[in-house]
Amino acid sequence: MYPPPVQRLITELGKLPGIGQRTAQRLAFHILRSDAEDATALADAIREVKERIGLCEVCFNLADEARCRICQDERRDASLICVVEEPGDVIPVERTHEYRGRYHVLGGALSPIDGIDPEDLKIAELYARVLAGGITEVVLATNPTTTGEATALHIAAALRERAPDVVVTRLASGLPVGSDLEYADEVTLGKALVGRRTL
Protein backbone atom coordinates (compact mmCIF):
# COMPACT_ATOMS: atom_id res chain seq x y z
CA MET A 1 0.00 0.00 0.00
CA TYR A 2 2.83 2.40 0.90
CA PRO A 3 6.29 2.67 -0.65
CA PRO A 4 8.48 0.03 1.08
CA PRO A 5 10.50 2.50 3.25
CA VAL A 6 7.26 3.95 4.65
CA GLN A 7 5.85 0.49 5.27
CA ARG A 8 9.08 -0.49 7.00
CA LEU A 9 8.85 2.51 9.35
CA ILE A 10 5.21 1.70 10.16
CA THR A 11 6.14 -1.94 10.87
CA GLU A 12 9.01 -0.93 13.19
CA LEU A 13 6.94 1.65 15.08
CA GLY A 14 4.14 -0.89 15.43
CA LYS A 15 6.49 -3.17 17.42
CA LEU A 16 6.61 -0.62 20.26
CA PRO A 17 4.44 -1.39 23.30
CA GLY A 18 1.01 0.22 23.24
CA ILE A 19 1.37 1.28 19.60
CA GLY A 20 -1.27 -0.22 17.36
CA GLN A 21 -1.30 -0.19 13.57
CA ARG A 22 -3.18 3.15 13.33
CA THR A 23 -0.93 4.93 15.80
CA ALA A 24 2.12 3.53 13.98
CA GLN A 25 0.80 5.04 10.74
CA ARG A 26 0.11 8.38 12.41
CA LEU A 27 3.64 8.49 13.88
CA ALA A 28 5.18 7.48 10.55
CA PHE A 29 3.37 10.33 8.75
CA HIS A 30 4.40 12.74 11.49
CA ILE A 31 8.05 11.73 10.94
CA LEU A 32 7.61 12.07 7.15
CA ARG A 33 6.29 15.61 7.58
CA SER A 34 8.92 16.72 10.12
CA ASP A 35 12.15 18.30 8.88
CA ALA A 36 15.21 16.15 8.21
CA GLU A 37 17.00 17.45 11.31
CA ASP A 38 14.29 16.30 13.75
CA ALA A 39 13.95 12.93 12.05
CA THR A 40 17.73 12.39 12.20
CA ALA A 41 17.80 13.45 15.87
CA LEU A 42 15.23 10.75 16.65
CA ALA A 43 17.14 8.10 14.73
CA ASP A 44 20.43 9.15 16.39
CA ALA A 45 18.86 9.08 19.88
CA ILE A 46 17.70 5.49 19.32
CA ARG A 47 21.11 4.44 17.97
CA GLU A 48 23.00 6.17 20.79
CA VAL A 49 20.94 4.65 23.58
CA LYS A 50 21.66 1.17 22.19
CA GLU A 51 25.37 1.87 21.70
CA ARG A 52 26.11 3.69 24.96
CA ILE A 53 23.73 2.39 27.59
CA GLY A 54 24.36 -0.91 29.31
CA LEU A 55 23.72 -2.37 32.74
CA CYS A 56 25.72 -1.45 35.83
CA GLU A 57 28.12 -4.30 36.72
CA VAL A 58 27.11 -4.08 40.39
CA CYS A 59 23.38 -3.36 40.55
CA PHE A 60 22.14 -3.83 36.93
CA ASN A 61 20.61 -0.36 36.79
CA LEU A 62 21.08 1.49 33.49
CA ALA A 63 24.59 2.90 33.15
CA ASP A 64 26.69 4.67 30.54
CA GLU A 65 29.87 3.47 32.27
CA ALA A 66 30.80 0.18 33.96
CA ARG A 67 29.02 1.38 37.13
CA CYS A 68 25.86 3.47 37.39
CA ARG A 69 25.86 6.91 39.00
CA ILE A 70 24.33 5.63 42.25
CA CYS A 71 26.96 2.89 42.69
CA GLN A 72 29.68 5.49 41.99
CA ASP A 73 28.28 7.92 44.56
CA GLU A 74 30.31 7.52 47.77
CA ARG A 75 27.68 9.42 49.76
CA ARG A 76 25.13 6.66 49.22
CA ASP A 77 24.83 4.16 52.07
CA ALA A 78 26.43 0.95 50.78
CA SER A 79 25.02 -1.14 53.66
CA LEU A 80 21.45 -0.79 52.32
CA ILE A 81 20.19 -2.46 49.14
CA CYS A 82 16.78 -1.69 47.66
CA VAL A 83 15.64 -4.48 45.31
CA VAL A 84 13.42 -3.43 42.39
CA GLU A 85 12.14 -5.22 39.29
CA GLU A 86 13.09 -2.85 36.47
CA PRO A 87 15.52 0.06 35.97
CA GLY A 88 12.42 2.28 35.62
CA ASP A 89 11.51 1.52 39.24
CA VAL A 90 14.65 3.26 40.57
CA ILE A 91 13.32 6.67 39.51
CA PRO A 92 10.12 6.70 41.63
CA VAL A 93 12.07 5.52 44.71
CA GLU A 94 14.65 8.29 44.12
CA ARG A 95 11.87 10.88 43.78
CA THR A 96 10.64 10.15 47.32
CA HIS A 97 13.99 11.44 48.75
CA GLU A 98 13.45 8.90 51.58
CA TYR A 99 16.11 6.45 50.46
CA ARG A 100 19.89 6.95 50.59
CA GLY A 101 21.11 3.41 49.97
CA ARG A 102 22.03 1.49 46.83
CA TYR A 103 19.89 -0.62 44.50
CA HIS A 104 19.69 -4.04 42.90
CA VAL A 105 17.65 -4.38 39.69
CA LEU A 106 16.34 -7.90 39.12
CA GLY A 107 15.30 -7.45 35.50
CA GLY A 108 11.73 -8.66 36.12
CA ALA A 109 9.70 -10.74 38.57
CA LEU A 110 9.34 -14.48 39.09
CA SER A 111 6.51 -15.93 37.03
CA PRO A 112 6.69 -19.71 36.50
CA ILE A 113 3.64 -19.54 34.17
CA ASP A 114 5.59 -17.25 31.83
CA GLY A 115 8.72 -19.35 32.25
CA ILE A 116 10.53 -16.73 34.36
CA ASP A 117 12.55 -18.63 36.97
CA PRO A 118 15.16 -17.40 39.48
CA GLU A 119 17.96 -18.08 36.94
CA ASP A 120 16.35 -15.62 34.52
CA LEU A 121 16.68 -12.75 37.02
CA LYS A 122 19.70 -11.20 38.77
CA ILE A 123 18.84 -13.06 41.98
CA ALA A 124 22.09 -15.05 42.36
CA GLU A 125 23.95 -11.75 41.88
CA LEU A 126 21.94 -10.26 44.75
CA TYR A 127 22.87 -13.14 47.09
CA ALA A 128 26.51 -12.74 46.08
CA ARG A 129 26.39 -9.03 46.97
CA VAL A 130 24.82 -9.75 50.35
CA LEU A 131 27.21 -12.61 51.13
CA ALA A 132 30.19 -10.43 50.22
CA GLY A 133 29.43 -8.62 53.50
CA GLY A 134 28.84 -5.07 54.68
CA ILE A 135 25.08 -5.24 54.05
CA THR A 136 22.76 -4.63 57.01
CA GLU A 137 19.37 -4.35 55.28
CA VAL A 138 17.74 -5.48 52.03
CA VAL A 139 14.54 -3.58 51.18
CA LEU A 140 12.31 -5.59 48.86
CA ALA A 141 10.58 -3.01 46.66
CA THR A 142 9.21 -5.31 43.99
CA ASN A 143 5.79 -4.34 42.66
CA PRO A 144 2.67 -4.98 44.79
CA THR A 145 1.45 -7.52 42.21
CA THR A 146 1.13 -11.32 42.44
CA THR A 147 4.49 -11.86 40.73
CA GLY A 148 6.15 -9.02 42.68
CA GLU A 149 4.94 -10.45 46.01
CA ALA A 150 6.04 -13.97 45.05
CA THR A 151 9.48 -12.63 44.13
CA ALA A 152 9.80 -10.78 47.46
CA LEU A 153 8.83 -13.90 49.45
CA HIS A 154 11.23 -16.09 47.47
CA ILE A 155 14.17 -13.73 48.07
CA ALA A 156 13.25 -13.16 51.74
CA ALA A 157 13.24 -16.93 52.43
CA ALA A 158 16.57 -17.43 50.67
CA LEU A 159 18.21 -14.51 52.48
CA ARG A 160 16.97 -15.74 55.87
CA GLU A 161 18.75 -18.99 55.19
CA ARG A 162 21.95 -17.60 53.66
CA ALA A 163 22.40 -14.39 55.62
CA PRO A 164 20.36 -14.55 58.86
CA ASP A 165 22.02 -11.40 60.24
CA VAL A 166 20.75 -9.21 57.40
CA VAL A 167 17.40 -7.49 58.03
CA VAL A 168 14.98 -8.05 55.14
CA THR A 169 12.14 -5.54 54.82
CA ARG A 170 9.20 -5.04 52.49
CA LEU A 171 7.53 -1.75 51.58
CA ALA A 172 4.58 -0.97 53.87
CA SER A 173 1.10 -1.51 52.54
CA GLY A 174 -0.69 1.52 51.17
CA LEU A 175 0.62 1.08 47.67
CA PRO A 176 -2.23 0.28 45.29
CA VAL A 177 -2.32 -3.52 45.00
CA GLY A 178 -1.77 -4.84 41.49
CA SER A 179 -0.09 -1.69 40.23
CA ASP A 180 3.50 -0.92 39.34
CA LEU A 181 5.91 1.11 41.44
CA GLU A 182 6.33 3.32 38.39
CA TYR A 183 2.81 4.66 38.79
CA ALA A 184 2.86 5.25 42.56
CA ASP A 185 2.91 8.91 43.59
CA GLU A 186 5.98 9.93 45.58
CA VAL A 187 4.10 10.70 48.81
CA THR A 188 2.53 7.20 48.97
CA LEU A 189 5.78 5.54 47.96
CA GLY A 190 7.75 7.67 50.44
CA LYS A 191 5.42 6.59 53.27
CA ALA A 192 5.67 2.95 52.17
CA LEU A 193 9.49 3.23 52.36
CA VAL A 194 9.54 4.90 55.78
CA GLY A 195 7.03 2.37 57.17
CA ARG A 196 8.73 -0.68 55.69
CA ARG A 197 8.34 -3.80 57.79
CA THR A 198 10.58 -6.75 58.53
CA LEU A 199 9.73 -9.93 56.62
Contact positions vs Zn ion (CB under 5 A): 56, 58-59, 61, 68, 71
* ∠ CA 125-128-131, rounded to 5°: 155
Residue 157 is given by DSSP the state: H
The C-alpha atoms of residue 171 and residue 92 are separated, in whole angstroms, by 13
Q: Which is nearer to Zn ion, 56 or 126 (CB)?
A: 56
Among residues 102 and 196, whose Cβ is nearest to Zn ion? 102
Cβ-based neighbours of 44, under 8 Å, separated by 6 or more: none
Q: What is the DSSP letter of 171?
A: P
| Core vs surface per residue 55-86: b (16+ CB within 10 A) or e | bbebbbbbbeeeebebbeeeeeeeebbbbbbb
Of 66 and 157, the one with the shorter C-beta distance to Zn ion is: 66
For the CB of residue 61, give the shortest distance to Zn ion in the complex, in Å.
Answer: 5
**How far is the C-alpha of 12 from the C-alpha of 22, rounded, in Å?**
13
Q: Please list, in sequence order, all residues whose beta carbon lies within 8 angstroms of the beta carbon of residue 120, skipping any fewer than 6 positions away.
A: 107, 108
87 vs 148 by CB, closer to Zn ion:
87
